[in-house]
A = this chain, B = another copy of it.
Amino acid sequence: MPTPETRLAELGVQLPDPNPAVANYVGAVTVGEIVFVSGHGPYENGDYSYKGKLGRDLDVPTGQKSARLTIVNLLASLKAEVGELDRVKRVVKLLVLVNSDPEFKEQHLVANGASDLLVEIFGADRGRHARSAIGMGALPFGISVEIEGIFAL
């Protein structure tokens, strides 16, 4: 089984620097064997991409790209916290928050962009996770997706 870092390289995904802490919070906190990772968004090249609401401004495939990019940012913070991603024994849970028009009903499909990438990186046994996918009234900076995660070491 290749390491998560090897799989990222194979997928052509480069982890960015973790998002800078711009207030009194941090990217991740570890308690015993559990790592709680902050809500992240689809950040790249110094700004958020994929702004807008699903069902109004963005379609599902675009939302999936947003979710995938959000996981890349989340993994950057996770790696900064744990060192090697191979220390992660299990992706435990995702909370996938989708900025939604009130009538949008496919948050679960958007969330698959996140879940699929995690399984590509960690494999099915380690990578499949508990999950909630829900529709938000609004999100910071008008981003389309925010995701927080729990990981076991």
| 8 Å CB interface, A93-124 against B | 93-95, 97, 99-108, 111-112, 115-116, 118-119, 124
Q: What is the bound-complex CA distance between A51 and B10, given in angstroms?
A: 42
Known A100-B138, A116-B24: A133·B39 in contact at CB below 8 Å: yes
B138 in contact with A107 (CB, 8 Å): yes
B136 in contact with A25 (CB, 8 Å): no
A131 in contact with B39 (CB, 8 Å): yes
A92: which B residues are within 8 A, CB to CB? 29, 31, 36
On chain A, the number of residues with a Cβ less than 8 Å from chain B's Cβ atoms is: 61
Known A25-B129, A115-B25, A150-B36: A138·B140 in contact at CB below 8 Å: no
A128: which B residues are within 8 A, CB to CB? 21, 24-26
A108: which B residues are within 8 A, CB to CB? 23, 140-141
A137: which B residues are within 8 A, CB to CB? 100-102, 135-138
B130 in contact with A24 (CB, 8 Å): no
A134: which B residues are within 8 A, CB to CB? 39, 97, 136, 138-140, 146
B36 in contact with A112 (CB, 8 Å): no
Q: Is A69 an interface residue (CB 8 A)?
A: no
A133: which B residues are within 8 A, CB to CB? 39, 140
Q: Is A13 an interface residue (CB 8 A)?
A: no
Partner-B contacts on A (CB < 8 A):
21, 23-29, 31-34, 36-39, 53, 55, 90, 92-95, 97, 99-108, 111-112, 115-116, 118-119, 124, 127-142, 146, 148, 150, 152
